[in-house]
Amino acid sequence: MKAGYAKREDLFITSKLWNTDHAAEDVRPALEATLGDLHTSYLDLYLIHWPVTEPQKKGVRIDPGIRETWTAMEELVDMGLVKNIGVSNFSIRKLEEILSFCRIRPSVNQVEVHPIWRNDELIAYCNDHDIHHGTSIIAKSSNPCHIKSNLEDVLNFELAKEDYDRISAIDFQLRLVDGIRYLRLEGPYTSMNDLWDEDTTEAWRTRFINSIYKFPDMPTVQLSSGHRMPILGVSTWLKQNVQETVELSLRSGFRHIDVSSQRGNEAQIGAALLEVFSDWIVHRPDVWVTGKVDYLDLCLLPAHNNMTAFKAAWTTMEALVDEGKLRCIGLQDASIEQLAEVMGSARILPVINSVEVHPGNRNDALLAFCRCQGVHVMASSWPATAYMLQHKDVPALLRKPLVNNIARSMGKRPAQVLIRWALQHGTSVSPKAGSPEHVQGILDVLNWELSGDDYRAAD
């Protein structure tokens, strides 16, 4: 404008009231900040971004408050600060709500429209209710040739009707700007139906996500409590890249995350869980977490030689199950005697005993006792690292010729053979995976088996 290429009245400037500023008292200050940044005294169009209020100060609470926000928007028009007001990503039901009380009608609904999301019904509703006729388009480019071409080369020709119809008939439809991150189990939007008045997006999205991620079928074991636990978990006993690794593991198909509070990395694990849950690629009920979240699927109590203290701690664990903070409780490194004693006085029985099990320490007697008592065994130290620390003269299992020969004959890695052995031995296992290759390598063990001879040889 300063250089004289255009006058303010030649331009049509649109901006959005961001989700964080939807409270009535925040609307005018937000607009004034925008006007200041844009060096203009008015906007041509101001849109409410999403029917979702997300006040930063109030954490993750979402409160639509559409009437409150819209009334404050109308006051901006009264003050001459904005010429038109509208909305962005509003469904038909939400537009109906505004139309039921508004003094000034919304001029525009900015929504996703393209050949694989034609949005026909919403466009028809808007046309019928005088909310912008047809569609306009906002091209975005930082490339000078594209900018020029988007301006000049699209206004001087038309698609032949036949071509337009062929593009418009593309069968595959998928809403991409779906707002799934605004859905919360506690509401106010719990489903796509709440947000978009339809359920098909959720089904399409699930199908689409499954086709991209190709999650493996994860086998589970039924614990004595009735809960089903994925038999292959991923350990988070990692020195670095904890958040990235947990996210990668979940996106690759792991559904069991094993957390150790001693490692002090629960915040990073929590951040990874939040990230995948808010993407809705994985749902909270589908993941088994032994760690710190809204509730724990499993918490293990380490064995203690002082049986009085050990049993008192177990009573506390039982109380946490009563409060709904823990779904299942188990023991770690409990001997037959300790297990028997806890079970003798327990109100809620341990569902798991996590103990060292690998071909160098099969722990047969303890495993047999657990099996008899319906206590599932989770194998710790599957590559025998703890064992090795105590018996330095024993060659590491991963380097043992027998394990390497079996691995070579199957085109697998020694670690995969040992993880597979643990599964075939009836235990569940949560190996540590510090790289995408390891994550895939661990999941790969779900696709094959050790032959009876190889399993027995490793045994």
Ligand X SMILES: NC(=O)c1ccc[n+]([C@@H]2O[C@H](COP(=O)([O-])OP(=O)(O)OC[C@H]3O[C@@H](n4cnc5c(N)ncnc54)[C@H](OP(=O)(O)O)[C@@H]3O)[C@@H](O)[C@H]2O)c1
Binding residues for ligand X (CB under 6 A): 88-89, 110, 138-143, 146, 149-150, 177
Smallest separation, CB 434 to ligand X (Å):
34
Residue closest to ligand X when measured from CB atoms: 141
Burial track 291-318 (b if 16+ CB lie within 10 A, e otherwise): bebeebbbbbbebbeeeeebbeebeebe
Residue written as tokens 């691995």?
A: 407
Smallest separation, CB 142 to ligand X (Å):
4
CA distance 411 to 404: 10
Kind and range of the H or E element at 161?
Answer: helix 161-168
Q: In 3-state terms, what secondary structure has residue 231?
A: coil
Decide whether 90 or 254 has the Cβ nearer to ligand X: 90
Considering only CA atoms, which of 219, 232, 275 is closest in space to residue 251? Answer: 275
Residue written as tokens 């849950």?
A: 277
Decide whether 149 or 440 has the Cβ nearer to ligand X: 149
Decide whether 53 or 225 has the Cβ nearer to ligand X: 53
Decide whether 167 or 319 has the Cβ nearer to ligand X: 167
Kind and range of the H or E element at 22?
Answer: none
Say which residues have a Cβ less than 8 Å from residue 200's Cβ, sequence separation at least 6: 192
Considering only CA atoms, which of 76, 94, 93 is closest in space to residue 85? Answer: 76
Decide whether 116 or 177 has the Cβ nearer to ligand X: 177
Smallest separation, CB 141 to ligand X (Å):
3
CA distance 438 to 420: 14
Smallest separation, CB 45 to ligand X (Å):
11
Smallest separation, CB 70 to ligand X (Å):
17
Decide whether 14 or 71 has the Cβ nearer to ligand X: 14
Smallest separation, CB 15 to ligand X (Å):
9
Smallest separation, CB 112 to ligand X (Å):
7
Decide whether 141 or 345 has the Cβ nearer to ligand X: 141
Distance between the two ends of the chain, CA-based, in angstroms? 81
Considering only CA atoms, which of 47, 45, 22, 43 is closest in space to residue 34? Answer: 43
Q: In 3-state terms, what secondary structure has residue 195?
A: helix
